Chain A
Amino acid sequence: MSAVPSAGHVIGTIAQREFRIALRRRFLRTILILGFLPPIGAAVVLIIRLLLKQMQGHDVGWDPLPFLLNFQAIPVFLAALGLGTPAVSRDRSEDVLYLYAVRPVNPSLYAAGKMLAVFLPAFLVMLFPIAMVITIRQGILGSDAAPLHSLADFGRAFVLTFGLAVAMAGATVGPSAATKRGRWALLLSLAIMTLPDTILRVFGLDGDWAIGPLNVSHKLVETLFESKVWMESLGHLAILLTWGAAGFLLTRWRVAREMIP
């Protein structure tokens, strides 16, 4: 007798397939490769800092981490667009949601699988370079960099990366579920990234807060790494997680309506 596959197996299977399909596109492969260029630049900055210190005898104090945290969101954003926007719209336009329904896949598992296909690459493309730079910084600067400081930076980077990857998954997979055309999903997704903060700005409501996933992630970098205001950081993280939850719920709702004969 066959056992019902675990939720993890089903979610992982859907995510794996989605990622394999996406990797066939040159655009996405390029973005993923380019995503590793900023940390290389950051490592070069650290090496120059070390050389200057050795030659001139004083530390210029250049820290490429804050720059990298903001800059790395761009390849993550592009990768998320490439991965997430066709994910559900393709299945809807090909009319294959019923194929999932006749297998041990319910709408929640389906939505979670599609979200994971965006979340995991986005998370790794963001966190891995940051972890590399923190490690290189610690290694190059040696005793000048406090290990605890590096660990704290890594913890903060983990929180930022988690929130950003969840938001990117929600803000790209959700629009994909709303339409049968990948291009419309792409436009919707871009609108989600830009329109909310534009509207806030038009009404003069911008300031310490933002709504759009990308701008919220920049605000989170500020509050986590610069001003270190924890309550505001939590608020920004909550907004990012809300984008993720909204994308998941929209996908789940849309798919549940179409997973029937």
Chain B
Amino acid sequence: MNPPWIEVENLHLSRGGRPVLMGISAALHGRAVGLVGANGAGKSTFIGALLGILAPDKGKVTVLGLEQPTAALEIRTRAGVMAEQAGIFPGGSGVDAVVFAGMLSGLVRKEALRRAHRALDALDVGEERYRATAEYSTGMRQRCKMAMSLVHDPEILILDEPTVGLDPPGRTQLLELIRSLRDEGRRILISTHILADAEFLCDEMLLLDAGTVAFSGPVAAMMKGREERFVASGDRLDAPLVARLAAANIPATIDSAGRLVISAIDADSIRRFWSVAAEAGAAIRRLDREAPTLEEALLARLDVVRANGGTR
């Protein structure tokens, strides 16, 4: 296993007198780590602590072996950050903004200009790069923000909602780019509400819930115990049917959409399912084989954590 590039020990951080992060501990090794959680879970504050912008009340934060906030400027030089809440440097064209971002990170103008064009080319920004940023569409703004985070060739990338506002082709293109950056060896932390993006990119997850860690570890560990299943929809899919199936040794539940979820996927179980359903008078209109999603795994994990009163 790689050494952790983000290590957090018992991190407590308050903002405006209100505790936001409460005793967070995590060691993140993954090439791409998904930072997920509901609004107000503490994701932005966590990123602020990683970059040394927000000083912890208590605890220790280490990024690339450098303790924060002591080495804040060094980390910010080695990191490329795409911030959701902030826009683009105003007052000029897209290429101006990207060049400026590169120069702020230490590049001389000529080199910043060369790399800015390379980054914008990679993001498929054509002649629009010479237009004033005030005229940009949301998608173009996202591309420009991404170029600003990449221009100085950072070792780590911290991306906050990178695909928000992009059309499907743009989203796919950006995700492919991020994946290729990950495969080149860059460490990436992605904060996102779009779990499909996290599923596509990440090999490790950090799930925050109300300022605490609900889960931290490889995606495979999060998905453990969540196997493929069959999902049936139709009429009279009710508790008596679930009881009959249980008696026939077929584990099943009713989900929030009223569908019957059958955990057993072997052919024999499915044959027996049809007979039990017929006996119970259930009308099965559709039976699909479904792979478990990260979203379900996360929600299930949150349910468990909340049921245990916040215990991991």
Contact = CB atoms under 8 A, between A and B. Distances in A.
B70 to A, nearest CB: 13
Contact of B90 (A94, A102, A105): A94
Nearest to A18: B91
B292 interface: no
A33 B155 CA distance: 45
Contacts of B158: 102
Nearest to A21: B91
B74 interface: yes
A101 B152 CA distance: 16
Given A90-B90, A98-B86, A4 B77 contact: yes
B92 interface: yes
Interface residues of B, number: 36
A125 B99 CA distance: 28
A100 interface: yes
The size bracket of the interface on A is 20 to 34
B105 A261 contact: no
A5 B78 contact: no
A113 B154 CA distance: 24
A259 B53 contact: yes
B78 A2 contact: yes
A96 B148 CA distance: 13
A260 B103 CA distance: 21
A104 B105 contact: yes
Given A4-B106, A21-B92, A91-B90, A102 B78 contact: no
Contacts of A94: 87, 90
A181 B168 CA distance: 37
Contacts of B189: none
Interface of B: 44-45, 47-48, 51, 53-54, 73-74, 76-79, 81, 83, 85-92, 96, 100-101, 103-106, 148, 152-155, 158
8 contacts: A4-B106, A17-B96, A95-B85, A98-B86, A101-B51, A102-B53, A102-B76, A261-B85
Given A13-B100, A102-B83, 10 more contacts: A17-B89, A21-B91, A94-B90, A95-B85, A95-B87, A96-B88, A99-B89, A101-B53, A104-B73, A104-B77
Interface of A: 1-5, 9-10, 13-14, 17, 20-21, 90-91, 94-106, 259-261
